[in-house]
Amino acid sequence: MQKKLIALALASLAGSAFAQSNVTIYGVADATYDFVGARQSTAATKIANDGRVSANSSYLGFKGAEDLGNGLKAVFQFETGITNDASNSAAYQGGVNASPSNTMFGGIRDTYVGVGGGFGTVVAGNLTAAARALGAKVDVNSGATGVGYQGALYGRLGGARTGVDDRTGNAIAYVSPNFAGFSGMVAWGAGSEQRDTVARTDNVYSLGLNYENGPAYVGYAYTQVAGKALGGADTKAVSNRVGGYFKFGTAQVGALYDRTDADTNTSNNRRNVWLLNGKVGVGAGNVIAGYGKAGKVDGLGNTAAKHYFVGYEHSLSKRTILKAVYAEVKNDSAATYNFYNAATGEVQNLVAGQDPRSISLGIRHSF
DSSP lists the bridge partners of residue 257 as 242, 274
Q: What average pLDDT does the structure give for the chain?
A: 84
The pLDDT value recorded for residue 229 is 57
Residue 263: CA atoms inside 13 Å, Cβ hemisphere, count?
A: 8
Write 70-74 long-range contacts (CB < 8 A, 24+): 70/117, 71/117, 71/118, 72/115, 72/116, 72/117, 73/12, 73/13, 73/17, 73/18, 73/115, 73/116, 73/117, 74/21, 74/113, 74/114, 74/115
Give the C-alpha separation, 337 to 340, whole Å. 8
DSSP assigned state of 231: T
The pLDDT value recorded for residue 2 is 41
Percent of the chain beyond pLDDT 90?
A: 59
Averaged pLDDT for residues 254-276: 87
**CA Rg value for the chain:** 20
DSSP assigned state of 172: E
pLDDT for 198-248, tens place per residue?
555 568 999 999 999 999 999 999 999 887 655 556 678 899 999 999 999
Q: ∠ CA(304), CA(310), CA(316), 5° rounding?
A: 145
pLDDT for 87-142, tens place per residue?
444 433 333 334 444 455 667 899 999 999 999 999 999 999 999 999 999 999 99
pTM of the model: 0.84
Buried b (16+ CB within 10 A) or exposed e, 51-90: ebbbbbbbbbbebbbbbeeeeebbbbbbbbbbbbbbbbbe
pLDDT for 19-62, tens place per residue?
456 899 999 999 999 988 887 755 556 676 778 888 888 999 99
Per the model's pLDDT, the better-predicted residue between 101 and 325 turns out to be: 325
The pLDDT value recorded for residue 103 is 52
Give the C-alpha separation, 127 to 116, whole Å. 16
Non-local (6+) Cβ contacts of 96 within 8 A are none
The pLDDT value recorded for residue 163 is 84
| Top-ranked range on mean pLDDT: pick from 7-16, 131-140, 193-202, 293-302 | 131-140
Averaged pLDDT for residues 322-341: 92
